[in-house]
Amino acid sequence: MSDTFQYNRLNRDDAALLLVDHQSGLISLVQDFSPGEFKNNVLATAACGDYFGLPTILTTSFEDGPNGPLVPELKETFPNAPYIARPGNINAWDNEEFVKAIKATGKKQLIIAGVVTEVCVAFPALSAREEGYEVFVVTDASGTFNTVTRDAAWYRMQQAGVQMMSWFAMACELHRDWRNDIEGLGQLFSNHIPNYRNLMTSYFAKASS
């Protein structure tokens, strides 16, 4: 077995969440997930950021144009988060205010989700890797035109050392141990995974018996 691999887990004390270009116009381009599924995944990712107290940065691109405004639920979840409305930068990393906000968090792990995957996610992810950050992309909260372009973007990022994970895996890796908070995380999962309510109903029934 190779001894070169190092499993660097997400650390809630050293991670920041970047939500990039989840805008009303751009989201209409997402075809690799159904609309309802994708919105649920995005809101679940945001809920994880809120639950774990991750420094969160919101950014949009050319929102006065066809890309449209930020999805309102994200602003509602993070009313005090840095909100960078980029006037035209396609790669968010080209915006000085965005990078300044990231550096101000002092975190070395960046969790990124956005629309579209091969541009709004891949470009800043690659830029962050170039600057030495550990980067984790939330695959099911990032969407694009089809699975062909999505897979190409995933491969490109993986070659640069970006780690791919679902929002559920992100939550579990940040949480580490169920004993840290059974009911809180269970409620979060139940809110976004309907079948998970069955597990929690069973748990509460057993706990009260």
120 counts as catalytic? yes
Which residues, in sequence order, are CB contacts of 174 under 8 Å at separation 6+? 10, 11, 12, 15, 48, 52
Q: Which helix (DSSP H) or strand (DSSP E) does residue 135 occupy? A: strand 134-138
| Candidates 70, 113, 120, 157; catalytic one | 120
- Give the count of beta carbons closer than 10 Å to the beta carbon of residue 62: 18
Contact call for residues 76 and 50 (beta carbons, < 8 A): no
Q: In 94-195, which ranges are continuous DSSP H helix?
A: 96-105, 122-130, 147-159, 167-175, 182-192
> In a 3-state reduction of DSSP, which class is residue 119?
helix
Amino acid at 19: L
Cross-strand pairs, 86: 61
Active-site amino acid positions: 120
